[in-house]
């Protein structure tokens, strides 16, 4: 069964509704012209946008000031409704029900290693934990975010022993809701893990959703392929690692198997990733990273 497109209220006077009916007559039946005073017809977003375009187009050619004022009022009301009810507007969803959806892609690996997650508002530090657990990393090294050219991270860890380092924006006190666009548009930023292996990730904020009633979060929705093992030597080391594992005749084959055991780069389970996300990383700040 097809899902009906949602409709939204537009409060207009009788005079305003009659002007709209003249401009877009196929909406006449929807505008409740048989009744006076103010009425509130319900229209889809596309219908609201069409009415707004029609009204704006004729304002310069309108002969009387009264009609111009009416058309401007309609245009303003339509713009307010579109701004309020558009799907890409975060404020349509109450803060307590709001989910932030991200796609996380490990760079320079092909076929790609990626995850799609849904989380409630939290600090960037907590988002780091979600990335670690959904990807399959062990949080054994330092990390940082780069957002619009600005470094974000834990100042105590990133600048430890380096007095001349530029202080990052503190990720422990920076929430997701303060970095994503207010209109809910997509945003790309960078996440780097392990400054030796240099695992660079593209984080794409895909938009906001309403949390499903009774559902638990965080949630790994889907993804593909296992992330590389820790300390494998970055992208080039990982490529060599896979080549050696795939060749039983290679002189290093047994030592690689002994190091990590069997490894299937194609294996990924979103349910298991979700469980890891919900367990989190207990007491991880008690350690130190490289």
Higher pLDDT, 59 or 288: 59
- Alpha-carbon distance of 252 to 270, in angstroms, equals 32
Is 1 or 182 the better-scoring residue by pLDDT?
Answer: 182
CATH 3.10.290.30 is right for the domain spanning 97-226+266-286: yes
The predicted pLDDT at position 68 comes to 80
* SS3 call for 24: coil
Q: How far apart, in Å, are the Cα atoms of 59 and each of 16, 47, 63, 67?
A: 13, 19, 9, 8
Residue with more model confidence, 97 or 167: 97
CA dist list (Å): 212 to 7, 8, 99, 139: 21, 21, 9, 30
Report the pLDDT averaged over residues 73-81. Answer: 83
Q: 130 and 99 in contact (C-beta within 8 Å)?
A: no
pLDDT tens profile 146-197: 999 999 999 888 876 555 567 899 999 999 999 998 778 889 999 999 999 9
What is the rounded CA–CA span in Å between residue 91 and residue 95?
A: 8
Give the predicted TM-score (pTM) of the model. 0.69
Distance CA 136, CA 281 (A): 12
DSSP three-state, residue 123: strand
Indicate whether 47 pLDDT > 70: yes
Placement of tokens 């007491």 in the chain: 283
Q: Which of 253, 236, 255, 235 is nearest to 244 (CA)?
A: 253
Predicted pLDDT at 254? 92
- pLDDT for residue 2: 41
Rounded-to-integer distance, Cα 20 and Cα 24, Å: 6
Q: Are strands 169-170 and 150-153 parallel, antiparallel or unpaired?
A: parallel
Examine the pLDDT at 290 and tell me if it is beyond 50. no
pLDDT at 289: 46
C-alpha distances in Å from residue 224, one per residue of 227, 243, 267, 279: 9, 20, 8, 21
First to last CA, the chain: 54
Read off the tokens for 182. Answer: 């207010």
Length of the chain: 290
Give the Cα separation of 169 and 146 in Å (integer). Answer: 10
For the chain, the C-alpha Rg in angstroms (whole number) is 27
What average pLDDT does the structure give for the chain? 87
pLDDT at residue 56 above 90? Answer: no
pLDDT digits (tens, 9 = 90+) for 102-152: 999 999 999 999 999 999 999 999 999 999 999 999 999 999 999 999 999
Helical H runs in 139-227?
155-158, 176-179
* CA 74 distance to own-chain centroid: 33
Residue 217 pLDDT: 96
Q: What's the confidence (pLDDT) of residue 72? A: 84
Q: What is the rounded distance in angstroms from the CA atom of residue 135 to the CA atom of residue 236?
A: 19
DSSP H helices, 138-266, are: 155-158, 176-179, 234-245, 253-260
Query: What number of CA atoms fall less than 13 Å from residue 242's CA on the CB side?
Result: 15
Of 27-36, 205-214, 228-237, 275-284, the one with minimum mean pLDDT is: 27-36
Domain boundaries, the chain: 12-86, 97-226+266-286
DSSP 179-247: HS-TT---EEEEEEE-TTTTEEEEEEEEEEEEPPTT--SSEEEEEESPPPPTTS-HHHHHHHHHHHHT-
Pick the range with the lowest mean pLDDT from 84-93, 99-108, 206-215: 84-93
């Amino acid at each position: 069964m097809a899902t009906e497109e949602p409709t939204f209220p537009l409060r207009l006077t009788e005079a305003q509704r009659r002007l709209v009916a003249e401009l877009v007559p196929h909406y006449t039946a929807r505008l409740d012209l048989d009744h006076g005073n103010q009425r509130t017809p319900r229209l889809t977003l596309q219908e609201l946008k069409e009415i707004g375009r029609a009204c704006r187009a004729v304002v310069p050619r309108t002969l009387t000031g009264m009609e111009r004022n009416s058309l401007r009022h309609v245009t303003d009301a339509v713009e307010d409704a579109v701004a309020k009810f558009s799907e890409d507007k975060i404020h349509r969803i109450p803060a307590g029900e709001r989910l932030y959806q991200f796609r996380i892609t490990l760079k320079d690996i092909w076929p790609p290693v990626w995850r799609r997650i849904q989380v409630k508002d939290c600090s960037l530090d907590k988002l780091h934990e979600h990335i670690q657990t959904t990807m399959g990393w062990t949080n054994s090294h330092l990390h940082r975010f780069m957002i619009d050219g600005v470094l974000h991270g834990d100042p105590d860890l990133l600048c430890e022993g380096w007095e001349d380092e530029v202080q990052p924006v503190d990720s422990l006190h920076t929430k997701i809701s303060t970095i994503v666009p207010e209109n809910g548009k997509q945003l790309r930023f960078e996440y780097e893990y392990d400054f030796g292996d240099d695992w660079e990730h593209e984080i794409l904020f895909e938009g906001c959703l309403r949390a499903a009633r009774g559902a638990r979060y965080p949630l790994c929705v889907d993804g593909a392929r296992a992330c590389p093992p820790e300390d494998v030597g970055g992208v080039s080391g990982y490529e060599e690692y896979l080549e050696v594992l795939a060749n039983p005749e290679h002189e290093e084959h047994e030592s690689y198997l002994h190091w990590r055991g069997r490894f299937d780069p194609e294996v990924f389970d979103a349910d298991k990733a979700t469980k890891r996300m919900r367990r989190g990383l207990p007491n991880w700040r008690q350690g130190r990273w490289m």
